[in-house]
Amino acid sequence: MSIDEAYFDLSFSGSYQKVVDISKIIKKEIKEKENLTASIDIGPNKLVAKIASYMQKPNGLTVVGADAEKTSTELVEAFLAPLPIRKIPGIGPKTEQKFLAVEVRKIEELRKLSRKELESLMGKWSSELYEKIWGRDESPILESYEIKSIGREETFLYDTRSLNFVVKRLEIMCEDVIKNFKEEGLRVLVLRPLPCVLPILKQKPDHTLCIARQTR
């Protein structure tokens, strides 16, 4: 879950068609109340729904699965098979290069590797990866979680080289972070000099600033 995405457990609805109907209502209300489009992606678990979310942005409604368990499994496996391996959460550029070295580019090709071959390439993560390439995921949907970090970032409308402007914005954001620390009942540790707060310059027409860590 993040600021622009969330998971919902709609299994209470009893059927995929009812989930689709609920999803259409959610999309309609978001548009009416916020004037924003939203993509909703339906699957038998969080993994499949997450991967499906890349399919029809920015205003899509993707369904992967069916009420009958056997049919749903077949649909999920067929959906994943032709996709690039990078669609699997956890496979980044470095991991992708390992698989490209053995001529594995798509999920269906990744499935041809034995568990032992996967383990030799990925180590302990191979067991989890094996489940993912078949669309299996038992991770629960959590309604609450422990806060592990508190931070702020700001995207500027225009690029800037003004150090004074950047420093002022950093001060304001860091004050906001410290305020949040205190509201959460956390202890604030001040370091001098402060090496952990740095501007991060993206390769885009914007600058993003300020990362801070919490301590207990």
Residues 6+ apart with CB under 8 A from 105: 84, 85, 99
Sequence-ordered strand ranges (E) for the chain: 40-42, 61-63, 200-201, 207-208
Contact of 122 with 101, CB cutoff 8 Å = no
Q: Which residues of 78-113 are buried (b: 16+ CB within 10 A; e: fewer)?
A: ebbeebebebbeebeeebbeebeeeebeebbebeeb
Q: Does residue 96 carry a catalytic annotation?
A: no
Q: What tokens does 77 get?
A: 């496996």
| Dist. CA 64–CA 69, nearest whole Å | 12
| Dist. CA 56–CA 75, nearest whole Å | 17
Q: What tokens does 156 get?
A: 């500027």
Distance of CA 147 to the CA centre of its chain: 17
Phi-psi region of 95 (alpha: psi -120 to 50; beta: other; left: phi over 0): alpha
Residues annotated as part of the active site: 5
